[in-house]
C-alpha cells in the first residue's frame, strides 16, 4: 500500500470515529463537543500523521516521551494549535521533558512521579493538565494506582505536591467487559471532584462515552494496525 492510500485511510478513519462519537453521544444525550478525541499516533511516522493534521485534527496522543520529541516539534511548527497528550508511563528522569513537551499527561500514578512533575511545573512555569492513572483491574503488569489507594494518592498529589489534577485515566484489562471499569473510574472521579475521565480506546470508546468519558484515546481505528 502506498503512503498516499494509508493517509486517505487515516482521514477516513478519523471521520468514522467522529461519526461513532456523535452516535454514542446521541444515545446518551451528551453533546459531541463534551468528548475530546485524542488521536493516538504512536509508532506512526510523521508522513502518516500529516493528513490527519491537514484534515483539521489537532489533539494527539503519544505513549513515549522520546518518540514524541523526535516527531512533534516539526509537526507543531507546520500545524499550529496542536495539543499533545502523554498516554504512556512516565519515568521520573523524563519528567522534565514530558512537562516541556506535553499539554496533557494522563499517567501520574505514584508519589515520585507526582513530586517530579510538580518540581518541573514550578521550574518551567508550564502547567500540563494532569490525569491520575488508576489500575482498575489491579493487573500486576499494568501502571496505575490501585483503586483502593486512589483517594489517598489524589489527596497526596493535591496537598503534598500542590498539583491541580484534572481527572482520572484507566485501561481496562483486555479480557474484561470494560463497562464496570469505566463505572469504577467514574465513581472515584466523582467522589474526588475530578471532571476529567480519560477512558475508551478503539475497541470500546462508545461504551466509555456512555459512562461519561471526557477524553477517548483512539489509535488503530484511525491510523490502522500498528
Ligand atoms: C495505544 C494506546 C491507546 C490506543 O489504542 P487503540 O486500541 O489503538 O485505539 C490508548 N491508550 C493508551 C494508553 C495506549 O497506549
Q: How many helices (H) and strands (E) does the chain have?
A: 9, 8
Q: Between 8 and 24, where is the model more confident? A: 24
Residue 226 and residue 12 in contact, taking contact as beta carbons nearer than 8 Å: no
CA–centroid distance, 225 to ligand 1, in Å, is: 11
Residue 176 near residue 207, CB atoms below 8 Å: no
Rounded (10°) CA dihedral 122, 123, 128, 132: -60
Q: Which residue has the cell 487515516?
A: 10
What is the crossing angle of helices 111-124 and 150-159, to 10°? 30
SS3 146: coil
Ligand 1 contact, 219 CB (< 6 A): yes
Whether the CB of 87 sits within 6 Å of ligand 1: yes
Q: Is the pLDDT reported for residue 6 higher than 80?
A: no
Bridge-based pairing of strands 129-133 and 165-169 is parallel
The set of cell numbers assigned to 184 is 469504577
Instruction: Please name every residue paired with 40 in a beta bridge, in sequence order, or none if there are none.
Output: 61
Candidates 13, 37, 61: which one to mutate for ligand 1, based on the most atoms within 8 Å of Cβ?
61
Mean pLDDT of 88-107: 98
pLDDT digits (tens, 9 = 90+) for 34-77: 999 999 999 999 999 999 999 999 999 999 999 999 999 999 99
Reported pTM = 0.96
Query: What's the pLDDT at 8?
Result: 72
**What pLDDT does 5 receive?**
63
In this prediction, residue 1 carries a pLDDT of: 46
Average model confidence (pLDDT) across the chain: 96
Closest residue to atom 11 of ligand 1, CA basis: 217
Amino acid at each position: 500500500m502506498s503512503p498516499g492510500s494509508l493517509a486517505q485511510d487515516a482521514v477516513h478513519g478519523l471521520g468514522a470515529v467522529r461519526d461513532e462519537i456523535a452516535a454514542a453521544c446521541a444515545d446518551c444525550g451528551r453533546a459531541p463537543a463534551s468528548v475530546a478525541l485524542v488521536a493516538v499516533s504512536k509508532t506512526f511516522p510523521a508522513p502518516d500523521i500529516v493528513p490527519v493534521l491537514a484534515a483539521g485534527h489537532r489533539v494527539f496522543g503519544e505513549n513515549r516521551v522520546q518518540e514524541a520529541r523526535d516527531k512533534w516539534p516539526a509537526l507543531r511548527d507546520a500545524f499550529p494549535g496542536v495539543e499533545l497528550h502523554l498516554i504512556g508511563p512516565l519515568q521520573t528522569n523524563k519528567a522534565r521533558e514530558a512537562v516541556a513537551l506535553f499539554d496533557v499527561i494522563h499517567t501520574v500514578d505514584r508519589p515520585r512521579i507526582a513530586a517530579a512533575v510538580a518540581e518541573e511545573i514550578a521550574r518551567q512555569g508550564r502547567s500540563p493538565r494532569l490525569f491520575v492513572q488508576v489500575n482498575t483491574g489491579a493487573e500486576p503488569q499494568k501502571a496505575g494506582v490501585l483503586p483502593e489507594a486512589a483517594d489517598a494518592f489524589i489527596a497526596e498529589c493535591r496537598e503534598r505536591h500542590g498539583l491541580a489534577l484534572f481527572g482520572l485515566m484507566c485501561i481496562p484489562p483486555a479480557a474484561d467487559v470494560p463497562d464496570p471499569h469505566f463505572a469504577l473510574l467514574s465513581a472515584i472521579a466523582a467522589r474526588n471532584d475530578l471532571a476529567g475521565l480519560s477512558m475508551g480506546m478503539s475497541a470500546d470508546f462508545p461504551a466509555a462515552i456512555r459512562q461519561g468519558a471526557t477524553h477517548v484515546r483512539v489509535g488503530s481505528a484511525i491510523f490502522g494496525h500498528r
